[in-house]
Amino acid sequence: MHWYEKLNQYFPVEEMKSKEHMETLLKERSDIYRKDEGKHHILMYVELDDFTFIDYLFVSKDARGQGLGHKLIQKLKDKNKPIILEVEPVDYDDSDTEKRLRFYKREGFEHAKSIGYKRRSLATNEVNPMEILYWAPNDESEELVYESMKKTYEMIHTYKDEEFYGESYQPVEEVLTMEVSAEDDVLKNI
């Protein structure tokens, strides 16, 4: 089975990029957009100088529980820069969502509590909230995670979107928000 079909069967339609979009990213953004594929896994990710963004991580049912996901994450951690990803909120009717969150928690990822992410799917036209998770080897701030997510959204998620989908995704400022706590506000004014 083609790598795209594996991803397409596993991830919800509202989270999937089109095959043409992903193949174009691999070709035209090969300097930053990467695919690590094996018999039992597919890892699509963005690697920039200051962070890595996991676009899709798929481990086949045959290989789950054997440490393959951990090894793939560890290869990225070995680069010693923040790793960021999006996951759908826990849906108690879908046990996979809870398993994914438990996996990333075991891997040391934290929930970016101050970052909001809601994007309208061009496939379903529904607004989908997502959670941002991150691993910060040097205690990088959620502000860096926020700026990195904005960069990813503009460089990858919306890359040639009108060409692939016939319309554009929302502007980044409508999709990503950063809540600043009162304490943070006070410190910025000093």
d(CA 105, CA 55): 17
Cβ atoms < 10 Å from Cβ of 79? 12
User: Rounded to an integer, what distance in angstroms lies between the CA atom of residue 121 and that of residue 130?
Assistant: 12
Burial label, 186 (beta-carbon count in 10 A; 0-12, 13-18, 19+): exposed
- Distance from C-alpha of 36 to C-alpha of 15, rounded to nearest angstrom: 19
Residue 105 CA from chain centroid, whole number:
15
Reported as a single tens digit per residue, the pLDDT across 113-133 is: 999 999 999 888 899 999 999
pTM (2 decimals)?
0.90
What does the alpha-carbon distance between residue 12 and residue 23 come to, in Å, rounded to a whole number? 19
Residue listed under structure tokens 């904005």: 150
Q: Answer positive or negative: Cα dihedral of 16, 20, 23, 25.
A: negative
Judge residue 113's burial from the number of C-beta atoms within 10 Å of its C-beta, 0-12 exposed, 13-18 middle, 19 or more buried.
exposed
Where are the chain's structural domains?
Answer: 3-188
Whole-angstrom distance between the N-terminal and C-terminal Cα of the chain? 58
Non-local CB neighbours of 121 within 8 Å, separated by 6+ positions: 13, 14, 15, 127, 128
Mean pLDDT score of the chain, rounded to an integer?
90
Note down pLDDT in tens along the chain; length 190 residues: 799 999 999 888 889 999 999 999 999 999 999 999 999 999 999 999 999 999 999 998 888 878 899 999 999 999 999 999 999 887 656 667 778 888 999 999 999 999 999 999 988 889 999 999 999 999 999 999 999 999 999 999 999 999 999 999 999 999 999 997 645 544 444 4
CATH class, 3-188 region: alpha beta
